Amino acid sequence: MRVVEVLNILDKKIIPQVKWKNDPSGLLIGDKNAEVKAILTALNPTLEVAKEAKAKKCNLIVSHHPLFKKPVSELVEGEYYSDMIRFLIKNEISLISCHTNYDLLSDGVSYLLAEALGLKNIKPLIPIKAVKDIEVNELYKLVVYCPAGSEEKIKSAVDYAGGAVIGNYDHCYFSASGEGDFRPGEGADPFIGKKGKIEKVKEIRIETVASAWNKDKIVSAIKSVHHYEEPVIDVYPLDNNSDRFGLGAIGELKKKLSLKEFCYLVSEKLGTDTLRIAVKDSKVKIGKVAVCGGSGATSWKFAYKAGADVFLTSEFSHHLYQEASYYINVIDATHHSTEQFAKEGLYKYLRRSIGRNFRIETSKTDTDVVKSLKELK
């Protein structure tokens, strides 16, 4: 298996185009044609993780966080980013990162956090259309007309191009039969009919859906297999929200807890004592919970408007604590703690997709650099 094949497997689920603009995702270091010996999944691609990959003979790291968020102007020994980059290149270890495209997946980073807390009825906290500065995954209706008997060929092309997907269902189509009229003109090379003569043909109207990121690919796939020189293909936007994408997650506890009990649950499930709690109402019973893996502090208004009893995320500023806690209880865990389940999510997806005969491991050295006082030795 080559690096590019692993990348293609990831791209089928964690859509590369649905991300924040200019976000570094995808293959960041390495050779796309290199043969993959084994894969190590991680949250952070640190030097320790890279050394772990080498020790375990894994020549591909698949991480959530990218290696760098800003341009690197030099590669010199002793500099944080340089040491990691040099080590990866020297040891021929490739790096693929699924960053904000994994954050924006409805069963991505925040879903995994909600699931770890035992929430039920989990759904995205923020609809994809409400998220700024991303390539929005708007849905499109795609309609194509073809001569009867060729519809399955058209559908296969659409399927292969990634279309006809609604939620957890694929190969989603509606078909209707009718009669098409046309007259080939000079210069035409008709599949059916003769030049200058009106032709009536039994045709099939096929309706399906496509997302903004792959509609052009689907149209090209249809044209490549369509019998007509000038196939009729209609593409128009829909108002529907796709449930495949969104930011954060909201769900319900099976049993309501006090705020203190819920904080202990968070500490246990996240494995950290590093919690900062801004209290709106200490006596409220926590039933509806909103979460956002990583630095989701500015999203607190969505949690409040959704009726959540508490909002769990990270990286609140002092004044944001004051403002948000006027409306809703806030729990601020570390960035690492709220996103740590991403490496297990990447592992499970790759394991299901590739199979058990290929070695895939999760990083053991990828731990939180932020420690509580209790953790200091």
Is 109-133+246-339 CATH 3.40.50.920? Answer: no
Q: How far is CA 150 from CA 41, 204, 223, in A?
A: 43, 9, 13
The C-alpha angle with vertex 82 and arms to 80 and 87, in degrees rounded to 5, equals: 105
* Residue 135: predicted pLDDT: 63
SS3 112: helix
| CATH 3.40.1390.30 domain extents, the chain | 3-98+341-375, 109-133+246-339
* Residue 137: predicted pLDDT: 62
Task: Determine which of 12-21, 273-282, 358-367 has the lowest per-residue pLDDT on average.
Answer: 12-21
pLDDT at 167 over 80: no
Its CATH architecture, for the domain 3-98+341-375, is 3-Layer(aba) Sandwich (3.40)
More confident residue, 148 or 192: 148
| CATH 3.30.70.120 domain extents, the chain | 139-237
Helices 342-354 and 109-116: crossing angle, nearest 10°? Answer: 110
CATH number of 139-237: 3.30.70.120
Write down the pTM of the prediction.
Answer: 0.85
Where does the pLDDT of residue 260 fall: very low under 50, low under 70, confident under 90, or very high at 90 and above? very high
Quick: pLDDT tens for 49-88.
999 999 999 999 999 999 887 778 888 999 999 999 999 9
For residues 205 and 147, give the distance between their C-alpha atoms in angstroms, rounded to a whole number. 9
Quick: pLDDT tens for 184-231.
888 888 878 788 888 899 999 999 999 888 899 999 999 999 999 989
| Sign of the four-CA dihedral 73, 74, 78, 82 | positive
Classify burial at 79, counting beta carbons within 10 Å of its beta carbon; exposed 0-12, middle 13-18, buried 19 or more.
middle
Yes or no: say if 278 and 232 are a contact pair by the CB < 8 Å rule.
no
